[in-house]
Copies of this chain bind each other. A is one copy, B any other.
Amino acid sequence: MISLAELQRRIDAGDLSPEAAVAQSLEATRTKDKTIGAFVCHADRLHVASAGPLRGIAVGIKDIMDTAEFPTEMGSPIYRGFRSRGDAAVVMLLKQSGASIVGKTTTTAFASVDPTPTLNPHNHGHTPGGSSSGSAAAVAAGMIPLALGTQTGGSVIRPASFCGVAAIKPSYRLLPTVGVKCYSWTLDTVGLFAAGVDDVARGLAAMTGRPELLLPPEIPTPRIGVVTQDFAGSSEASGGEALRIATKVAERAGASVRELNVPEIIAEAWRLHPMIQEFEAHQALAWEYRENYDAMAPLLRAKLDETRDMTPAAYDAAIAIAHRARQALETAFDEVDVLLTLSAPGAAPQGLASTGDARYNRLWTLMGVPCVNVPAYVAEGNLPVGVQVIARYGADAKVLAAARFVEQAIARQ
């Protein structure tokens, strides 16, 4: 993989020009993407900025985000050839930081569950996960040092886990969703993929103009609460093994580790996530679903068909439960700095028929709390499995520092 931090150091030192850094990414993409299929389109001619913290950094943009210079096709024939007039807010944040947008990455249709043809770079017989399939795979394959995705259920953390890369789903609305195709306004969150936690932190700090998100020279020892999310069903062996390893090495590295049971209201919110998601999707995708029914991706269409009869009253009740669950979770963070839990049930499923299961992600999306995936284990078939580090709402600097702590503990094991 290409380390963003390493590129920044070489560019700052004058050992590498921004043009040469971007050219390396373009060359790697040219070589590797024929097999992986992470991009839907590439830049014809490229502007490489000479200033800004992300100068020389080649970035891939999930194809549900508006870009004036590329079509935005949402992974769906309904948007074939569509050109937005301007750039999504997050694309502009990248450009203002000096980054070079090298192309658009594959997305499941409207960031839902119908798989893309993208392959998992670690094992071509397996899915890279979804919905941000191309962004996760492009970073994992060493094509680019940074990519943007979105998460509504588990579409950032899960593909990061399957592809063995670091990723952050920041606190709700730390990154704006303006110009990003909406599925659910309560849930949709823009996230970043990069080689390691430090790389992710640097990307997020540059985009948001928040230097406090950069990792401190000394990473403090975190108090960790391990959450098994039994309410979401049991994990596969490889998922459980990843969590066991991360827990053990973090404790050995000095973290105080305890098991944490979340209150019942939080499990209740987990159960209601799909209702909030689909109720809002019926409004957000009303034009696509009602006026382009035959062209809708089949799994998404079936999901919308099944949920046509949800009532505003049921939605309101679910939103009220989510609100109470957020308050309960806030209290749980009085005792620990971060939570440690599964990023996915296990390694990437075989084949490309499914992008995997978001059952260990969706609660945290609904809670709006920052989550970081850290690769923790490699299962049979060379398949990576990650763990998820989670902090309270707004504690994005803390979640990054704690994730870096876990990442270093795993590297030293």
Contacts and interface: CB of A to CB of B under 8 A. Distances in A.
A287 B92 contact: yes
A217 B210 CA distance: 54
Contact of A185 (B79, B178, B210): B178
A287 B185 contact: no
A78 interface: yes
Contacts of A178: 182, 185, 283-284
Interface in A279-318: 280, 283-284, 286-288, 290-291, 311-312, 316
Interface in A151-195: 173, 176-179, 182, 185
B87 A286 contact: yes
Contacts of A78: 85-86
A96 interface: yes
Contact of A283 (B89, B283, B286, B290): B89
Given A82-B85, A178-B185, A208-B312, A93 B288 contact: no
Contacts of A46: none
Nearest to A79: B85
Contact of A89 (B284, B291, B311): B284
A308 B223 CA distance: 39
Interface in A243-273: none
Nearest to A210: B312
A178 B280 CA distance: 10
A68 interface: yes
Given A85-B82, A173-B185, A182-B178, A92 B312 contact: no
A150 to B, nearest CB: 14
A63 to B, nearest CB: 14
Interface string A52-78: 000000000000000010000000001
Contacts of A125: none
A174 to B, nearest CB: 9
A286 B96 contact: yes
A87 B314 CA distance: 26
A89 B312 contact: no
Contacts of A210: 312
Contacts of A220: none
A84 B254 CA distance: 54
A209 interface: yes
A386 B291 CA distance: 40
Contacts of A179: 182, 287
A398 to B, nearest CB: 15
A288 B178 CA distance: 13
Contact of A312 (B82, B209, B287): B209
Contacts of A85: 78-79, 82
A49 to B, nearest CB: 13
B284 A176 contact: yes
Interface in A187-233: 208-210
Contacts of A312: 208-210
Nearest to A280: B176
16 contacts: A68-B287, A78-B85, A79-B85, A89-B283, A89-B284, A91-B287, A92-B287, A93-B283, A93-B286, A173-B185, A176-B283, A178-B185, A178-B283, A178-B284, A179-B182, A208-B312
A-B pairs with lowest CB-CB distance, top 3: A86-B287, A92-B286, A87-B287
Interface of A: 68, 78-79, 82, 85-87, 89, 91-93, 96, 173, 176-179, 182, 185, 208-210, 280, 283-284, 286-288, 290-291, 311-312, 316, 394
Given A86-B287, A87-B291, A92-B286, 17 more contacts: A68-B291, A78-B86, A86-B291, A89-B283, A89-B284, A91-B287, A92-B290, A93-B283, A93-B286, A96-B290, A176-B185, A178-B182, A178-B185, A178-B283, A178-B284, A179-B287, A208-B312
